[in-house]
């Protein structure tokens, strides 16, 4: 049998599928064996552990590289349904995982990810009002707020990530850890305090400006 030839578009979609299938699986902490079992039980499709491994193969020199290109369309729908993502996402046609058209529109309009939109929907009404206030600021003011938030996040990362995997029980590591965390705590306090003060001050200005416009 002659070997099938695939165009660049098909190869690109195959590679995207392999990468995103693996991401969906690992994000859920599933082994290939567990995923095969879940698909059988919840989607009523039988896909072996070995087939799943082949579908995730991105090595173009591998004998199983083209496995996903001949995949049963029912399997593609089963993957999309099980992981609650769109087929377009799995094939690399969009970066948005959601199958909700309203969220897709929101993502396209705002430039935010579907995860960000979903998280915003889950905010309590009081915090949503605070977010609405922040986003209502003049762009220059809002950029200053983002700078404070970025600084705040930076020091959180600096505090916790530097010692990831380090044994702080050792006296040398513990001393360095304590020194770093003390400095980071000071910077975190300054950044958070500055953020609160900035938001409060801008909120007052915004309200004052709205009052003058009435």
32-82 pLDDT, tens digit each: 999 999 999 999 999 999 999 999 988 877 777 777 777 888 899 899 989
pTM across the whole model:
0.51
Q: CA-to-CA distance for 204 and 212, rounded, in angstroms?
A: 12
pLDDT value of residue 161: 55
Domain ranges of the chain: 8-91, 125-213
Torsion of CA 70, 71, 74, 80, to 10 degrees: -130
Pick from 60, 84, 79, 66: nearest CA to 21:
79
Pick from 7, 96, 23: nearest CA to 55:
23
98-139 pLDDT, tens digit each: 767 677 777 777 777 777 777 777 777 666 666 776 677 667
Q: CA-to-CA distance for 84 and 46, rounded, in angstroms?
A: 19
What CATH architecture is 8-91? Orthogonal Bundle (1.10)
38-52 pLDDT, tens digit each: 999 999 999 999 999
pLDDT at 31 over 90: yes
């Amino acid at each position: 049998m002659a070997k099938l030839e695939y165009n660049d578009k098909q190869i690109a979609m195959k590679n995207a599928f392999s990468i995103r299938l693996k991401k969906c699986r690992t994000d859920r902490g599933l082994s290939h064996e567990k995923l095969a079992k879940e698909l059988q039980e919840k989607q009523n499709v039988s896909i072996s552990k070995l087939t799943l491994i082949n579908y995730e193969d991105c090595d173009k020199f591998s004998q199983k590289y083209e496995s996903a290109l001949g995949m049963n369309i029912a399997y593609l729908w089963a993957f999309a349904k099980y992981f609650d993502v769109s087929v377009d996402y799995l094939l690399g046609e969009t970066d948005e995982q959601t199958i909700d058209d309203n969220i897709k529109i929101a993502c396209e309009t705002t430039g935010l990810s579907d995860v960000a939109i979903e998280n915003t929907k889950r905010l309590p009404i009081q915090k949503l009002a605070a977010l609405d206030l922040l986003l209502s600021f003049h762009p220059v003011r809002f950029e200053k707020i983002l700078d404070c938030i970025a600084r705040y996040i930076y020091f959180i990362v600096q505090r916790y990530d530097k010692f990831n995997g380090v044994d702080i029980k050792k006296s040398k590591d513990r001393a360095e850890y304590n020194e770093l965390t003390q400095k980071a705590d000071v910077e975190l306090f300054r950044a958070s305090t500055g953020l609160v003060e900035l938001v409060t001050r801008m909120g007052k200005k915004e309200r004052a400006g709205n009052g003058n416009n009435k």
